Amino acid sequence: MTKAKNIAIYGKGGIGKSTTTSNISAALADSGLKVIQIGCDPKSDSTNNLRGGKSIPTVLDAIRSGKKIEIADIVYEGFGGVLCIEAGGPEPGVGCAGRGIIAAIELLRQKKVFEQYDPDVVLYDVLGDVVCGGFSVPIREGVAEQVYTVTSADFMAVYAANNLFKGIKKYANSGGALFSGIIANSVALPIQREIIDDFASQTGTTIAEYVPRSVTIIRSELRGQTAVEYDPDSEQAEVYRRLAKAIVTNEKKYVPAPLEAENLKTWAESWSDRLLEKKDDESSVRTPETASPAT
């Protein structure tokens, strides 16, 4: 059995984790690697675009059914042979959302899924805006060795990334995963790149890739596909292939230097002042969510 590269991709809800992770999986599978993608978000749609836009039953659902669980109940094949797993979540309003991750990882180990499939790469797509025990499992328990975060230039996304850095730092001395890079997503304006670059330099972190906001993603998603599958010749697909290659070859791991709450606030205010100074102020302050696609 080869030693798999275990990578966790964190970020705030709606920031583009699943889009990015699925495109990385698709690109890696295309290059001949065996990939497992594990959705660790109660939304349970991490792998949809690897499977024609359709959801798969989750590990927590399988556990809740009370029936004997077979590997085939929780592992589904997607584009390029990527194995898709969704941890799932609790019923709304009941229990900790991170519980699905703990249960899923335990079950996959019990069922010897990793031994059986012998993957080259395992990607964990993890919701990262909640600082709770369950969501830090991939960092704490020797599950992943390397962590990336997807962030845009929006303050709430940066705030979530900074929180993730605090989590990594906390467990770094007890065998926890280390940080390997920021994936700057939805970059449509130069100022957004500047903001993310500055945040990276303030926190002693590096940028793995800049992913533009792109209409190719919107179109691919409407077909239930990744850009790598739907439009392999597009610039967007090329960006994901480059990112995928960077991630499998990147051995760089380090402890980030998160900003203290007060410093993060001061940092945000300094950008607010700079944005105000800009003549093109109006267009600069639009969030990537409301800005029109660049391509």
Between 54 and 64, CB nearer to ligand ADP: 54
CA-CA distances (angstroms) from residue 259 to 150, 163, 183, 198, 201?
Answer: 17, 9, 18, 12, 11
Which strands, in side-by-side order, build the sheet including 83-86? 76-77, 83-86, 35-40, 121-127, 5-11, 146-151, 178-187, 207-212
CB atoms closer than 10 angstroms to residue 282: 9
Q: Is 30 a catalytic residue?
A: no
Shortest separation between residue 148's beta carbon and ligand ADP, angstroms? 12
Q: Is 129 a catalytic residue?
A: yes
Q: x/- string (CB under 5 A) for Mg ion, residues 28-67? A: -------------x--------------------------
Contact flag: residue 151 with ligand ADP (CB under 6 A):
no
- Indicate which single residue of 37, 136, 186, 234 sits in contact with ligand ADP (rule: CB under 6 A): 186
Between 37 and 203, CB nearer to Mg ion: 37
* Residue 163 interface partner, choices ligand ADP, Mg ion, none, CB cut-off 5-8 Å depending on type: none
Residues 6+ apart with CB under 8 A from 56: 47, 76, 84, 85, 86
Tell me the helices (H) and strands (E) count for the chain, helix number first.
13, 8
Q: x/- string (CB under 5 A) for Mg ion, residues 11-30? A: ------xx------------
Contact flag: residue 58 with ligand ADP (CB under 6 A):
no
- Indicate which single residue of 131, 132, 218, 261 sits in contact with ligand ADP (rule: CB under 6 A): 218
Shortest separation between residue 39's beta carbon and Mg ion, angstroms? 7
| DSSP 3-state of 270 | helix
Q: At what angle do helices 190-202 and 155-171 cross, to 10 degrees?
A: 20
Q: What amino acid positions are annotated as catalytic residues? A: 12, 17, 43, 129
